[in-house]
Amino acid sequence: MDLQLSGRVAVVTGASKGIGLAIAATLRAEGARVVAASRKLSPELAELVGDDLIHVPVDLMDPDAPGSVVRAAVDTFGGLDILVNNAGGPPPGITMPTFSFFDLDDENWRSVFEFNLFSTVRAVRAAIPAMLARGGGSIINISSTHARQPSAVNVDYGAAKAAMTNLGKALSDEFGPRGIRVNTVTPGPVRTPWWTDAGGAAEVFAAKVGMERDAVLDGTGAQMMNLTTGRLGEPQEIADVVALLASPRAASTTGADYIVDAGLLKTV
Ligand SMILES: NC(=O)c1ccc[n+]([C@@H]2O[C@H](COP(=O)([O-])OP(=O)(O)OC[C@H]3O[C@@H](n4cnc5c(N)ncnc54)[C@H](OP(=O)(O)O)[C@@H]3O)[C@@H](O)[C@H]2O)c1
């Protein structure tokens, strides 16, 4: 299927690793021109940099950063068609998962909302005028199953992602008539550096339940998390859904929430 993304301009936040890297690589492979935002340029992202992909080094905790990323798209590629708000998870200096409401002070709550929600709010605020100038666009927000399945685990993150999912629906309603589609993708556990890095989620989780780190990442962890597929998701499996939602082939899909969670959520 031709996704008709050739020549379209996309911004992807959190694009140096994990899900964001897979999204940036996939959109570029489909012919889009990509602005990839993250604090650092990873070796994997550096391999993609060229005429059709630039890296913009920003810390999205800075309120001016989302606007500067959108400006880079307009200045470099002449406009903006696609915005993927992917950056999220633990903000700088915070380790996740957490396991109780009482693990969290005001600073935790503030920084988790700043990174996971407000950076998206600011990116959307900057992107919509640029998209309207081109007659429309597609915004995709990367949420989490924590938005739909509240629990004691990462309670601040779940609340921020629930707000993000809610925001996406509201935006789709307001801007759909003007040609901007807004959709949410809701991943379950995905094998990314957030899980696999030293000190990452797999190690924290393993220490909590008295397992080996590698067991969390293989079938045992999947069994404990009740994943019906028996394994964590892969970044490419999220990126492929994002690419379809970015595409004009999905012109009637807006205000939707696509769950890609390896069967974690058990409700309809
Ligand atoms: N992995 C999962 O199991 C899972 C599950 C559900 C939802 N999600 C969601 O999926 C998205 C991607 O997660 P992931 O697992 O791929 O994360 P990841 O592997 O930790 O990658 C995070 C990306 O965000 C960038 N980043 C981190 N802090 C930043 C900051 N302050 N400013 C700018 N960029 C920053 C990182 O690059 P730098 O470090 O260079 O800045 C990196 O490119 C997040 O929204 C997360 O909430 C993930």
The Cα 138–Cα 173 span in angstroms is 13
The Cα 149–Cα 102 span in angstroms is 19
Residue whose CA lies nearest to ligand 1 atom number 41: 39
The predicted-structure confidence for 145-184, as pLDDT tens digits, reads as follows 999 999 999 999 999 999 999 999 999 999 999 999 999 9
CA–centroid distance, residue 86 to ligand 1 (Å): 7
Are 214 and 208 in contact by the 8 Å Cβ rule? The answer is: no
Highest mean pLDDT: which range of 91-105, 195-209, 231-245: 231-245
Catalytic one among 157, 194, 205, 258? Answer: 157
> Is the CB of 144 inside a 6 Å radius of any atom of ligand 1?
yes
Among 62-76, 107-121, 195-209, the range scoring the smallest mean pLDDT is 195-209
Domain segments of the chain: what residues? 9-188+235-259, 191-232
**Model pTM score:** 0.98
Classified as helix, coil or strand, 85 is strand
CA–centroid distance, residue 111 to ligand 1 (Å): 14
Q: Write the class of the CATH domain 9-188+235-259.
A: alpha beta
- Whether the per-residue pLDDT at 185 is higher than 90: the answer is yes
The predicted-structure confidence for 241-268, as pLDDT tens digits, reads as follows 999 999 999 999 999 999 999 999 999 9
List the one residue out of 144, 157, 162 whose CA is nearest residue 98. 157
> Is the CB of 55 inside a 6 Å radius of any atom of ligand 1?
no
CA–centroid distance, residue 263 to ligand 1 (Å): 22
Q: Percentage of the chain surpassing pLDDT 90?
A: 96
> Is the CB of 136 inside a 6 Å radius of any atom of ligand 1?
no
> Is the CB of 112 inside a 6 Å radius of any atom of ligand 1?
no
Dihedral sign for Cα 122, 8, 130, 44, please.
positive
- Please report the pLDDT score of residue 87 as a whole number: 98
> Is the CB of 39 inside a 6 Å radius of any atom of ligand 1?
yes
- Please report the pLDDT score of residue 219 as a whole number: 86
The Cα 201–Cα 229 span in angstroms is 20
Q: Is 157 a catalytic residue?
A: yes
